[in-house]
Structure 1
Amino acid sequence: MTQSTIKAYRAAILDSLGDPAELGIPESYRYFEDGLLVVDNGQISALGNATDLLKDLPADIDVTEYKDALITPGFIDTHIHYPQTGMIASYGEQLLDWLENYTFPAEHKFIDPAHAEEVSDIFLTELLRNGTTTALVFGTVHPQSVDAFFSCAEKRNLRMICGKVMMDRNAPETLTDTAESGYEESKALIERWHGKGRLHYAVTPRFAPTSTPEQLTAAGQLLQEYDGLYMHTHLSENKNEIEWVKELFPEQNGYLDVYDHHNLLGERSVFAHGVHLCDDECKRLAETDSAIAFCPTSNLFLGSGLFNLPKMEQHKIKVGLGTDVGAGTSFSILQTINEAYKVMQLQGEKLNPFKSLYLATLGGAKALQLDEQVGNLEPGSEADFVVLDYNSTPLMGYRMAQAKSLEERLFVMMTLGDDRAVKETFAMGQSVFKRD
C-alpha cells in the first residue's frame, strides 16, 4: 500500500463478530479500549491495539484521534421509505388508513424528478447524520424516483439498495402501474443501476394487497432473470392487513404463502415487520434463508404489535433493524434500538446491548448478504464506520461517567443516544458527515 493513501483513526473501537444468541455474549464482539483503525484506499487494512499497530506504521501517517469516543461499523437500515421523509410524524392512524391519508398523497409528488432529487439529497444527508451508511430503501411507483435516489447515492459513493414500487391495484390511479409496465420499468432500472459502483437493485412490490397475482409473477420473473437482485416488501405488519390478504388470495395458505407461491422468497428477500408470524411461516423463512426487518418505532407508532425476536432466534431467521421512516419516527438507529429494547421488555424479554450492536451492524449486513463488504471492521472490508461521542449531551456525559463497564456504556449510548451522538460518519474511508 502506498503511504499517501493510508489514514488511521484512534479511539475505543467495537464491532460484532457474530450473533450473541448463537455465540454467547463474550464471543460475539471485539473491543479495543485504545484501538487503531487503519484505512487504505477505501478499505480497512488493519485493526488492533493502537500501541501495537503504530509501531509498524510510518511516522508521518495521518492519525486522527478521537477522545471520549467509540468507533463502530456504520449502521445498516434494512427497511426505510425515502419518499416518506416529508411526512414523518403524521398523526393518528393505523396502517391501512395511514397509507390512504398520508403515504399515497406524499408519494404522488415524486412524479416530478426535481422533487425526487431534492428529497433524495435530504434523505441521504439525514441517514449519514445519524451514522447510517447502508440502507434498503423503497422508492415510489415512478422510475424517476429511483433514478434520483441512485444518482444521489452514487455521488456520495454509498452502498445502497433501492427499487421502484410495483403496485397495480388497491391504490390511487396516479400511483399504479400494470403488471407489464411494472416489469418493464423495473427491468430498465435494473440494467441502468444494479451493480453500478456500490449500488444494488431491489424488486419492490409494495405488499401483497396492492399487487395482482400477475404482477407478483412478474416480480418473481425478474428475480430469475438477473443475478444478485434483492426482493423487498412488507409482511404481516397489521392484523387487518393480514385479513385483507386472506380475502384477496383465498387460494393461498396465508400471507407468506402468497409470496412463496410467486417465487419471492430467497437469500436476498427482506420482509419488513413480520409481527404476526406463525411457526410454519417462520420455518419457511428459515428454509429459504429469507430475512426480516425489525421496525420497532414504526410498529409502536402505528399500533401494529410487538415483534417476537426470540421466536426468530429459535427458528434461526436472519433479522436486521429498520427505521421504517415515515411510519418510524426517527432516522436514528440508536433510537430504533431504544424502542426495540422496550418492545422486548413488554414481552418479558431483555435485549442485551451486544445483541443490539449486532442487529444494527453485522446482523443487518447478513440480512442483506453484504457481510463480506460491510457490517464489521474486519481487514479487507469496506471502510464504512461511525464515530460516536460519549459526551454528546450533558446528560450523556454525566451518565457515562457513572458507567463501570463497556456493556453499561454501550447500553447508555443506545438508550440516550440519537443524531447528536454521531461525531463523524465515513463511507469507503471518506468523511461524509462531520458534526460541527
Structure 2
Amino acid sequence: MSDSVKAYRAAVLHFLAAPESQESHEYFTDGLLVVEHGRIARIGHAYDLLPQLPAGVEVVEYSDALITAGFVDTHIHYPQQGMIGSYGTQLLDWLQTYVFPAERRFADLEYARLQARFFLRELLRNGTTTALVFCTVHKESVEAFFEEALRLNLRMLAGKVLMDRNAPDYLTDTAESGYADSQALIERWHGRKRLHYAVTPRFAPTSTPQQLALAGKLLGEYPDLYLHTHLAENRQEVQWVKELFPERKHYLDVYDHYRLLGARSVFAHGIHLCDDECQRLGETGSTVAFCPTSNLFLGSGLFDLARLERHDVRVGLGTDIGGGTSFSQLRSLDEAYKILQLQGQSLDPFKALYLATLGGARALYLDDRIGNLQPGKEADFVVLDYFATPLLAQRIEQARGLAEKLFALMILGDDRTVKATYAAGRLVHERGKTDKTVLLST
C-alpha cells in the first residue's frame, strides 16, 4: 500500500464551483493531499488525515507554499515558441512575417520532437498540466507532440492545422488531404490514455468552404472530438471574413453554418463580437479562450469578460504562445486583471485562480477528470512558493488574508513561483533541479 500512496502537506486550496457560488472552494491552512495510483484519494486538514495514513506512507512537506490544481491553458501554439516576442506588427502581418516561416520547419519530425519536448517542459515548469494546443499543417508536428505527451502521461489536446488557402504554398493542404490526415491522426491518438484530438482549422480566412464543411463532417463522425480555432481577434481580420463570406451575417455564423459550434468547440480570443454572436456561443455550449498577454502584445483589443458571462459563455484562460509573451498563467492573470480594470471590471483573485484551474477544465468539458482536487480526480496539481522572490515574500508577509496572498501570487508571480508540478500523481517538474533529470525519470 505504501508504494502506491503518497501524501503532500502544505496549505491547500481548490475550487468546487465558480466563486460567485456559495461554498465555491475548500481551503486548508495546514492541509494534506493524499494520492493513490495517480488519483486524489483524500483531501483535508493534516491533523485529521495524518493519523489515518497507512504505515510507511511518505509525506512530502512544502513549507510556505500553496497546493492547488494544475493550471489549464485553453489556447496555445507549440510551433510558435521559437519566435515568441517578435517585434512590431499586428495579427495578419505578424502571421506572414514570423509565424508561417517558423511553422515551416515542423515538416521535419525530429525537429518537431525537439520542440515538443521543450514546449512541454516549459508548460510543466510553469505549472500547466493540461493545454489545448495548435500544431502545424504537418502530420509530423502532431505525431511529435502526442508522442511526448503520451510519454509523460499528460492530459493534452491537440490537432493538425487545416489551411488550404491564403497561406504560403509550403503550409497549405487541401480540403481532402486535410480531412484524410486528420482522420488518420484521430484513429491513432484520440482517446489514447489522456490524449484528445481537436479538429483545427486555423481560422475562417485560411480554409475554403469545402474544408470547413469537411471539418464539420469530422465532428459528426467522431462526436467526442474537440474543435479549436480563432474568432474575432483583430478588426482587420473580422473585415476580411466579411469579404470572404459575404453571405454569412457575421464571423461566428461562418463556423455555425459549417456545424462547428457546440460542446468542446473552443474559439480563441472573441474580442470583437456582437451580441448575437455572444448569445449563440452561450446557447451552443461553446467556449471562448481569453488570451490576455497576446491581446495586448499584438494590439488586438480588450476582452470583455462580463459581457460573455452575461450570455453564459464558458470562458477559459489561454497564453496563446507565441503571440502571448509568457507560458505562465500567473502572468496571464496579471494582464487579465489590467485588461478588465481598463473596462471598469475587476478580477477577484479567487475568480482568477478559478479561471486558471476548474474554470479552464470546465471550458474544456474535462471538469469530471481534472480542475480541482476532489477525491477520484486525476492527481494533476502544482505547488506554489509564497516566498519565490524577495518582492513576493515581502508582499506575502504583509498580506491580511488568503485573498491578498492569492492576489500577490497573480500579480507578482511567474515561473519562479512554481516549486513543483505533478501530473497523474508523478513529479514532472521540480524547481532547482534540471528539467531533463525530472522528465526522464518519468
Shift of 1:17: 1.4
Structure-1 residue corresponding to 2:422? 426
Superposition deviation, residue 18 in structure 1 = 1.3
Q: Which residue in 1 is equivalent to 2:86?
A: 90
Structure 1 position 125, deviation (Å):
0.2
Query: Which of 326, 339, 346 is residue 335 of structure 2 equivalent to?
Result: 339
2:14 — aligned with what?
A: 15
Secondary structure in 2 matching 1:11: strand
1:207 is matched with which residue? 203
2:3, 2:176 → 1: CA distance?
52
Once the two structures are TM-superposed, the CA of residue 139 in structure 1 deviates from its matched residue by 0.3
Over residues 41-92 of structure 1, what are the superposed CA-to-partner deviations in whole Å (9 max), with x where a residue is unaligned? 0000000001001121124210001000000000000000000010000001
1:185 aligns with 2:184: no
How far did residue 232 of structure 1 move? 0.1
Aligned to 1:364: 360
Residues 1:320 and 2:319 aligned together: no
Counterpart in the other structure of 2:63: 67
Give 1:114 deviation, angstroms.
0.9
* DSSP 3-state at the match of 1:13: strand
Q: Counterpart of 1:145? A: 141
Aligned partners of 2:170, 2:157: CA distance in 1, in Å?
25
Deviations 1:123-175 (A, max 9, x none): 00000000000000000000000000000100000000000000000000000
1:388 aligned residue: 384
State the partner residue of 1:310. 306
Distance in structure 1 (CA, Å) of the matches to 2:236 and 2:53: 60
Matches within 5 A, 1:35-46: 35-46=31-42
In the alignment, structure 1 segments of 5+ residues that lack a partner are none
Shift of 1:20: 2.1
Structure-1 separation of matches of 2:157 and 2:249:
30
Q: Which amino acid aligns with 1:6?
A: V
Q: How does 1:388-407 map to 2 (within 5 A)?
A: 388-407=384-403
Q: Secondary structure at the match of 1:169?
A: coil
2:146 aligned counterpart, secondary structure: helix
Q: Which runs of 5+ in 2 are unaligned?
A: 433-442
Query: How far is the alpha carbon of 1:313 from its aligned partner?
Result: 1.3
Q: Which region of structure 1 is more displaced relative to structure 2, 56-65 or 150-159? A: 56-65
Residue correspondence of structure 1 range 116-195 to structure 2 within 5 A: 116-195=112-191
**Separation in 2, partners of 1:281, 1:202:** 22
3-state SS of paired residue (1:372)? coil
8 Å CA contact 2:2, 2:58 repeated in 1: no
1:435 is aligned to: 431
Contact map agreement 2:139 2:160 (CA 8 A) in 1: yes
Q: Secondary structure at the match of 1:378?
A: coil
What is the CA distance between 1:277 and its match in structure 2? 1.0
Q: Secondary structure at the match of 1:20?
A: coil
CA distance in 2, matches of 1:4, 1:89: 45
Structure 2 partner of 1:4:
3
Q: Secondary structure at the match of 2:335?
A: helix
Q: Which amino acid aligns with 1:336?
A: S
**Aligned partner of residue 3 in structure 1, secondary structure:** coil
1:52 — aligned with what? 48
Asked if the contact 1:28–1:354 (Cα under 8 Å) also holds between the matched residues in 2, the reply is: no
Following the alignment from structure 1 to structure 2, what is the Cα–Cα distance between the partners of residues 316 and 29? 21
2:2, 2:55 within 8 Å by CA — same for their partners in 1?
no
Partner of 1:232: 228
Deviation at 1:3?
3.1
The one-letter code of the counterpart of 1:329 is T
Q: Could you tell me how far apart the structure 2 residues matched to 1:28 and 1:310 are?
A: 19
Give the Cα separation in 1 of the matches to 2:366 and 2:39: 15
Residue aligned with 1:377, SS: coil
What's the % identity of the aligned pairs? 66
Structure 1 residue 272, shift from structure 2 partner: 0.1
- Secondary structure of the structure 2 residue equivalent to 1:90: coil
- Where has structure 1 moved over 3 Å in runs of 4 or more? none
C-alpha distance in structure 1 between counterparts of 2:328 and 2:168, whole Å = 31
Q: Secondary structure at the match of 1:398?
A: helix
Partner SS for 1:39: strand
State the 1:352 CA deviation: 0.1
Q: How big is the alpha-carbon RMSD for the aligned residues of Structure 1 and Structure 2?
A: 0.7
Is 1:411 the counterpart of 2:410 in the alignment? no
